[in-house]
Amino acid sequence: MPAETVFLLPGTASDEVFVRSVFAEPLSQVGAVLNAPRVRTLGERLTALENAWAGHPIVVGGVSLGAHVAATWAVRNPDRCAGLILALPAWTGAPNRAPAALAARASAEIVTNHGLRAALTGTTGWLHDELTRAWHGYGDLLVPHLEEASESAAPTLEELQSLKVPTGIVGCTDDPVHPIAVARAWAEAIPRAVLVTTTLDAYPHALGRAVQAWQQAR
């Protein structure tokens, strides 16, 4: 029997390299294979999921914006989705003044007015390395993507309640950009969701705990 393939999308201005570094090993431990497409816009994220459909239900998910897009796709295609693996959902419904949306807008403004190096000032460690690689990879698409992400809608609680598939969610208890209250609200809304938590000290690899939560939800 072939291994199950899981399609996971990156967050805002993140990339497939980060997704692979976090999820490839946890998925292999449960006999699944990761497909992390190279995408640079909201439209490309949705198209990647549409193209992933091969005539049978598939497991999808992602990080932050990637989680939003995957859950939205699942709401629109209930017969095509077999499960969800969601890390760090950042808001529900309209972004309004959600911290992650504000951060994306601020980053876009800094890059526009002062350049990429200025926007990366203040980041350190693994986050600095990840953003430096990923943001350079977006090239001229970086600012438009940050702006479109900051204005994009996530599923509403009512829409999340319609999801009937096993869902694993990981939230962070001390990440101000991705409030744990959002992850908890998603987990309470989705009927077959299991929520696990982590802290900033355990980033980024602890995000892979969403895989174990998905397995528990099954």
Question: Which strand ranges, in their side-by-side order, compose the sheet holding 167-172?
Answer: 32-35, 4-9, 58-63, 81-87, 167-172, 193-198
pLDDT at 168: 98
Fold for domain 4-96+155-217?
Answer: Rossmann fold (3.40.50)
Q: What is the mean pLDDT of residues 88-115?
A: 97
> Does the pLDDT of residue 52 top 80, yes or no?
yes
Check whether 84 has a pLDDT greater than 90. Answer: yes
Average confidence (pLDDT) over 50-78: 96
Domain with CATH 3.40.50.1820 in the chain: 4-96+155-217
Among 60-69, 103-112, 115-124, the minimum mean pLDDT is found in: 115-124
Residues β-bridged to residue 86: 62, 169
To the nearest whole number, what is the mean pLDDT of the chain?
A: 96
User: Band of the pLDDT at 54, cuts 50, 70, 90?
Assistant: confident
Does the pLDDT of residue 23 top 90, yes or no? yes
Mean of the pLDDT values across residues 121-130?
92
Distance in angstroms (rounded) separating the CA atoms of residues 187 and 59: 17
Q: What's this model's pTM, rounded to 2 decimal places?
A: 0.96
pLDDT tens digit sequence for 156-213: 999 999 999 999 999 999 999 999 999 999 999 999 999 999 999 999 999 999 999 9
Q: Is the pLDDT of residue 2 over 80?
A: no
CA nearest to 9, candidates 37, 29, 28, 34 = 37
